[in-house]
Amino acid sequence: MKKYISKLIVLGVLVFLGTSCDDGAEVTTLQEVKFASDVIASPSNIVLSPDNNYDAVTTISWPEANYPVDAPVTYALQFDIASDTIGDTAWSHAKRFEAGEDVLSKSFLGAELNEIAKDLGLPIDVPGEIVVRIESNLDRKAYSSAIVLTVTPFTQVITLTQIYMPGSYQGWNPATAATLTAIDNGVFQGYVTFPVGQGLGFKFTTDTNWEEFYGLNTSGNFAEHGDTDLTVPAYGSYQITVNLNTLSFTAVPYSWGIIGTSTAGGWNSDTDMTYDYVNKVWKFVGPLVPGALKYRLNDSWTVNYGQNSNNDPVVYFDNQGAYSISVAGNYTVTFALDPDPATAHYTVVMN
């Protein structure tokens, strides 16, 4: 009986569907979305150089996309090379940049376009072609026809051997600021401690004055002559790396500490040292009690140093020995890695 009723229900559904089709109802399809006219780049042939790094070197404009719904449309730009815009993976490697809701143009600085060109593999100092199209999005995505930019990228040669990092930690004076040393062309690295309560802001300068400096611009991007301060997320010590080729920097927590039975944390936790950027040593000033003393990086035993006796002025990587504090008192302890990181030098002096 149940099987019979089920068959009747299925038959009824089929009859209903058949009747609907016989009534000549139209199948609904999505209306095609089109851009009213072509995308325009002004100019479309751009030769990049250090002189136009911070200038708007091209402005790309486009018409509205005609959606059947009256609502804000979000636009973005896609950049790629011609060979990557065909086939099953077309545009999958494109560089994409948001423009915003109902925004119909976007300008690019020389440094931005230079980075796009190099990321896409264009040869340096030779004109190359980049394909650009506009992506629109409302209830679905639609794309404009592509246009071609001719771009000549360059590699900036930076001959500086060091830069300076004035900030709240030292009174904003470039002449007395921490220095970052060149580790590659245009790439600099160093260490800075931000003491609690002295502020988290800083900038970079190329000399001991404010003639050429780097901060955040009005768009929140790292830029030359950016007036807004750069910041670290919290007080403490950091390894700072700056790349002036790509206009970027990183601040990675990085701190040497002392540990052992002579310290407040015993063998359970480090007592952090601060970085003395003038003398380029890590330093602790404070009380110690009789017991053992070792050095380790970032609160971990992965990188640690010890020695065999107090008479040895050198400590060794992953050595099980420790310095022995024999008298309680207030001490100054310093630590500095040697050029060969298998060893480091230290001092322990009672104040």
Q: Is 330 helix (H, G, I), strand (E, B) or coil?
A: strand
The conformation of residue 173, written as its DSSP 8-state character, comes to: -
pLDDT of the residue at 29? 56
**Residue 180, token pair as written in the block:** 């970052």
Half-sphere exposure of 334 (CA within 13 A, CB side): 13
pLDDT of the residue at 21? 45
**Residue 46, token pair as written in the block:** 């751009």
Length of the chain as a residue count: 351
Pairing, β 213-216 against β 222-224: antiparallel
Q: How far apart are CA 14 and CA 104, in angstroms?
A: 50
Place of tokens 């629109």: 136
pLDDT of the residue at 285? 97
Q: Which residues contact 292 (CB under 8 A, 6 or more apart)?
A: 260, 261, 262, 322, 323, 324, 325
Is residue 121 within 8 Å of 152, Cβ to Cβ? no
Place of tokens 């302890």: 333
Question: Is the peptide bond between 43 and the residue preceding it cis, with omega within 30 degrees of 0?
Answer: yes
Q: How far apart are CA 79 and CA 97, in angstroms?
A: 9
pTM here is 0.62
pLDDT of the residue at 25? 46
Is residue 73 within 8 Å of 64, Cβ to Cβ? yes
* Tens-digit pLDDT string for the chain (351 aa): 444 334 333 334 333 434 444 454 444 457 889 898 999 999 999 999 988 887 899 999 999 999 988 899 999 999 999 999 999 999 999 999 999 999 999 999 998 999 999 999 999 999 999 999 999 999 899 999 999 999 999 987 778 999 999 999 999 999 999 999 999 888 999 999 999 999 999 999 999 999 999 999 988 889 999 999 999 999 999 999 999 988 899 999 999 999 999 999 999 999 999 999 999 999 999 999 999 999 999 999 999 999 989 999 999 999 999 999 999 999 999 999 999 999 999 999 999
Q: How far apart are CA 117 and CA 130, in angstroms?
A: 7
